[in-house]
Structure 1
Amino acid sequence: MRCILLGSGTSTGVPEVGCHCRICRSQDRHDKRTRISLLVITDSGKRVLIDCSPDFRRQALSADIDSLNAILITHEHYDHVGGLDDVRTISWLRDLPVYGEEKVLASIRERLHYVFRKNPYPGTPRLTLHSVEPGVPFQIDGLTVEPIRVMHGTLPILGYRIGDMAFLTDVKTIAEEDLKKLEGVRLLFINGLRFRKEHPSHQTIEQAVEMSARLDNPETVLIHLSHHAPLHEELLTLLPSHIHPGYDGLEAVIEN
């Protein structure tokens, strides 16, 4: 299974509009972060997108995405769903399934009302919405996906486990019984907003390292990084060898 991190940044991206801090002024491409999204390509060639950020068009062009089999949505915040209209050019001739909790799907129906009305606006994406529940695995073309409950501050959202890979974005806490559902994961994508300073709804990088340790230290990629996180080159010197700072375009492969 091949995983391509299309976007590695938090809701404002990096650099932030109007900011001139040293992170935002960095010329290292690893420090230039679009909003979060992951493309999973299975051994059989199925393509599953996790979250569809407002930067999807740019990300899709960079990664040469010309088809998708499904989209998984973690929650309804704009930086995770704002690119759904941009899948129209690869889904206006066939249905594209979108999976998420019912409250998330309701938000999508409201935002993209012109897609879901009785007579959709011509040329809009043909999205079919499918409700999922935490802890209840489902199938996408023979691929098993397990939604995992995590807490984004006080907001319940979903992480996803696909085989030995797990994707947890915007997580602040996770219940012990849900953490057990991640046992045996070999590749973990997990948010770390900034290095140490507490945030009400996101883990710090230090807390992400601790959570990785609770899962027996799988290969771990930090995502949803902000301009308050250290520079990429600095993170390389601060992190354990199995923890990797995510960046746009990072690829990871899980061998069978």
Structure 2
Amino acid sequence: MMKIIFRGTGDAMGVPRVYCECEVCTEARTSGVNRRYRSLVQLEDADIGTMMIDCGPDWRTQMESAGLHFVNRILVTHAHFDHIGGLPEWADACRWLGVKGEAYASEEVIAEIMQRFPWLDRNIRFIAIDTPCDFGSWRVSTWKVNHGKNGYAYAFRFDHQESGEAWAYCSDSIGLTEEQQKPLYGLDLLVLGTSFYIENFAYETRSVYDVTEALVLLPIWKPKRTLFTHMSHDIDLRRTYPLPDYAEFTYTGLEVSVGK
């Protein structure tokens, strides 16, 4: 059984946005219901131990809140700062502890990371995962998805080789082609990025689905459960939104389990 713990559920700016005094950002600074660090999940499995998806600029705070001092393995969706900004800190931890971390990503994502941080491979071993890779009883595959005006990202799908259960993490996508949608069909759990409930900006300027667009796609993909992440300051967790009973918003510290 794999436990998925949401350590970050925010978009690239996080919540509160430092410049913003909207109702959601103001609340996030006080009671903190809407405080959201950059998107990251912690994965716990008896066979593989602890691993994470992404390593953004809030990684240190997320590690502290989890009570973790080190993690050996991180999967990376794409090379945008909100998903890789913590890699230098992780590399420094690896250096001090004398342990070489393992970062798994598509070959083109690894190439982008190394262009920006060319020293990281001294302390982190980068492993291409363009073909399926086994972690314990889970087979993990990744595929390229449209990220709108921001280019591309990768999603991850986890298939349990004994129970047949499957879940996917697709944090940054919009306008998926039919081919890109195929791995999202029939999942036990889908974690999907939706920055706004309704995003009233020109489609060509956007980079992530909004909630209303996702709700059109879910009956086609038919996941048993959907969790929305990568949320901007448009989403107010104190409100009640018209969601089907199989879909909900994530929040910091939410724990769910998949597999047997």
TM norm. shorter chain > 0.5: yes
Deviations 1:111-133 (A, max 9, x none): 222334xxx5xxxxx20111232
Instruction: Report which stretch shifted further, 149-158 or 50-59.
Output: 149-158
Could you tell me which amino acid in structure 2 is paired with residue 104 of structure 1?
Answer: V
4+ residue runs over 4 A deviation = none
Aligned match of 1:193 = 195
TM alignment of 1:23-38, pairs within 5 A: 23-26=24-27, 27-38=30-41
TM alignment of 1:91-106, pairs within 5 A: 91-92=94-95, 93-106=98-111
Note if 1:215 corresponds to 2:221.
yes
| TM-score, length-scaled by structure 1 | 0.88
Residues 226 and 25 of structure 1: CA distance in aligned 2, closer, same or farther (over 3 Å): same
> SS at the partner of 1:178?
helix
Note if 1:158 corresponds to 2:154.
yes
Q: Distance in 2 between matches of 1:60 and 1:223?
A: 19
Displacement of 1:45 after TM fit? 4.6
| TM-score, length-scaled by structure 2 | 0.86
- 8 Å contact from structure 1 (residues 149, 174) kept in 2: no
Instruction: Report which stretch shifted further, 5-14 or 36-45.
Output: 36-45
Could you tell me which amino acid in structure 2 is paired with residue 218 of structure 1?
Answer: K
- 8 Å contact from structure 1 (residues 165, 186) kept in 2: yes
Deviations 1:82-127 (A, max 9, x none): 00122246533222111112222122223222334xxx5xxxxx20
Displacement of 1:50 after TM fit? 0.7
Identity percentage over the alignment? 27
> Which segments of 5 or more consecutive residues in structure 1 lack a partner in the other structure?
121-125
Displacement of 1:142 after TM fit? 5.6
> Which segments of 5 or more consecutive residues in structure 2 lack a partner in the other structure?
160-165
> SS at the partner of 1:16?
coil
Q: Distance in 2 between matches of 1:150 and 1:56?
A: 24
- 8 Å contact from structure 1 (residues 36, 53) kept in 2: yes
- 8 Å contact from structure 1 (residues 47, 67) kept in 2: no
Q: CA RMSD in A?
A: 1.9
Displacement of 1:38 after TM fit? 0.9
- 8 Å contact from structure 1 (residues 171, 203) kept in 2: yes
Aligned match of 1:21 = 22
Displacement of 1:222 after TM fit? 0.7
Q: Of residues 124, 140, 147 in structure 2, which corresponds to 1:127?
A: 124
Note if 1:113 corresponds to 2:118.
yes
- 8 Å contact from structure 1 (residues 169, 191) kept in 2: yes
Displacement of 1:211 after TM fit? 2.6
TM alignment of 1:166-245, pairs within 5 A: 166-198=168-200, 199=203, 200-229=206-235, 231-234=236-239, 236-245=240-249
Aligned residues: 244
Residues 67 and 211 of structure 1: CA distance in aligned 2, closer, same or farther (over 3 Å): farther
- 8 Å contact from structure 1 (residues 68, 90) kept in 2: no
- 8 Å contact from structure 2 (residues 47, 136) kept in 1: no
- 8 Å contact from structure 2 (residues 187, 223) kept in 1: no
> SS at the partner of 1:113?
coil
> SS at the partner of 2:228?
strand
Aligned match of 2:162 = none
Aligned match of 1:12 = 13
> SS at the partner of 1:61?
helix
Residues 112 and 74 of structure 1: CA distance in aligned 2, closer, same or farther (over 3 Å): same
> SS at the partner of 2:62?
helix
> SS at the partner of 1:29?
coil
